[in-house]
Structure 1
């Protein structure tokens, strides 16, 4: 690949790790009947392939950079030097539920943060051999093609990706109201089931925007840089930049992002000093937001997200 010759050395190592994990995943996909599957919680699965792919990624990264720290979905922070300014954020198989059913939408996600700011990003789709990647300040790519977010400006024309609730304890009534708000204002809503790929699809212009709650840093660290390097915006439901820790995310082309934030703002769970809204108040606020969403201005780009080193929620996305 002509573009690859000019890639940052750390990005090249991440690409090597992602392709190694992709080979493990592809081999396992040929015989799913013998796959060993465990449940971390209801509807939240992990397989021996998740573990094998993660081990291969970590081994490749630490062989090149033994002093770096690791944050991985399955093994957490147990590998690497946790005092390092460099941290690899890894999801070895985003879309495990899809994988175990033979539904070909899943990916490997690897990001590198320096002092809390993501600098390198790789998302690899082993089914299609699609490699999405970005280096901060140098653009985002799919294989050899430069990526740009879509140019659509109206929510009524927008195709939007999302994720549905699947864990015990999720607020399904809140989700249904949120989906109803968005569905009535856009051209279509999609839920393939792998957030890392969803974010890359925004960067490629396949989607005009994406939103979901309950995501962890390893789900979104790589995809968020790929989006911003493709000219898009990423934030939480109120448009602030701390989406990695608030477990809610909106991403999109600038115009659609601004309008979608206006729709989703009433449903935020970001902690604030204001009293919590009741369901009735939330619904009324959402109704008011509908009236201005179409004319909402593009959101102002935010500063790079800093990843705080603190304990993560124990629940993981499949």
Structure 2
């Protein structure tokens, strides 16, 4: 026999449940919209990455075809033989600019070989280009040089490629990344050099910092005795390529310009590394680009063009160890270095 039971339901509770259900459905709807938005953004990033890879490959072919040949060489500065530029630098940048205009209309290019008096508004999308980083090496038939292209969205690097000559069947390696998808050469996903728990650089593994570093910084004993095998290649982009590939355990690079770092910072971050910049207080701090106070105006373009920095990059614990064991020597030297930083 079944007994009939009366269930008392509080109307206020039912109203509460319905209201919570409505909220849950609204959150789900917003989440779906967000997912669609993210999918659209990533598809656009993938397209931009493909355009950059194409530009780097075609520019690399051009530059490699002129390597060791007759070049038109001049100096950008007043001192002959310093800050060299060739007709190939300019041809490389023009080729990249044409590909950008063809494939990504509305994007704006900032390149090393722009005229110094160029007036231009920044845009949400910008390509930061070094058409040949290591021109002095290139002029002297040294194959340590690189072509670097980065796409910035509102000041943050979101896609990047660096091309370097390499002794393989292709004659080059082309490294690329887009935000959130790792760093790649062909089908190989890259990772920065393995680090130990302490972050102490390993003996027998390549490292890099400028020759003037010991004059400008106190280098603590721990780092002095564990620097790794120091090499200076003469190309900031090439060295960052080697850090992202895991061939170099860390690098201190600069003082150099936006186009020397815009691609490298994403390639290293996406390969599991860390990037720091010497700030205006003389301390290394995390660095991810130029998004702070970014506006699509002439002032932002000029700020990016004039920006200079000293960058430390590598595996996270190694970078932290190196940064903790460096300090500037003299206040007056600090003042001189500080003048190089304008943000």
TM-score, scaled relative to structure 1? 0.74
Matched residue pairs, number? 263
**Structure 2 SS opposite 1:155:** coil
Q: Does 1:160 align with 2:207?
A: yes
Match of residue 206 from structure 1:
247
Quote how far apart the aligned CAs of 1:54 are.
0.4
Q: Which of 164, 177, 181 is equivalent to 1:125?
A: 164
**Structure 2 SS opposite 1:259:** helix
Match of residue 189 from structure 2:
146
Match of residue 15 from structure 1:
53
Quote how far apart the aligned CAs of 1:180 are.
9.9
Match of residue 293 from structure 1:
none
Partner deviation per Cα, 1:218-266 (whole Å, 9 max, x = no partner): 00110110000000000113331348645111001011101111123x1
CA distance in 1, matches of 2:174, 2:105: 25
CA distance in 2, matches of 1:48, 1:142: 29
Match of residue 107 from structure 1:
146
Q: What 5-or-longer segments of structure 2 have no aligned partner?
A: 1-43, 290-306, 335-339
Q: Which of 277, 285, 299 is equivalent to 1:240?
A: 285
**Structure 1 SS opposite 2:286:** coil
Q: Which of 72, 90, 97 is equivalent to 1:36?
A: 72
Q: Which of 254, 261, 278 is equivalent to 2:316?
A: 254
Partner deviation per Cα, 1:30-82 (whole Å, 9 max, x = no partner): 41xx2111111342100000000000000001111121111100116989973
Quote how far apart the aligned CAs of 1:200 are.
1.6
**Structure 2 SS opposite 1:8:** helix
Match of residue 267 from structure 1:
328
CA distance in 2, matches of 1:242, 1:111: 16
Say whether the 8 Å CA contact 2:265–2:288 is kept in structure 1. Answer: no
CA distance in 2, matches of 1:44, 1:226: 26
CA distance in 2, matches of 1:55, 1:100: 19
Q: 1:123 to 1:209 in 2, by over 3 A?
A: same
CA distance in 2, matches of 1:40, 1:147: 36
Say whether the 8 Å CA contact 1:70–1:76 is kept in structure 2. Answer: no
Quote how far apart the aligned CAs of 1:95 are.
0.7
Say whether the 8 Å CA contact 2:133–2:236 is kept in structure 1. Answer: yes
Q: 1:172 to 1:152 in 2, by over 3 A?
A: closer
Q: 1:69 to 1:261 in 2, by over 3 A?
A: same
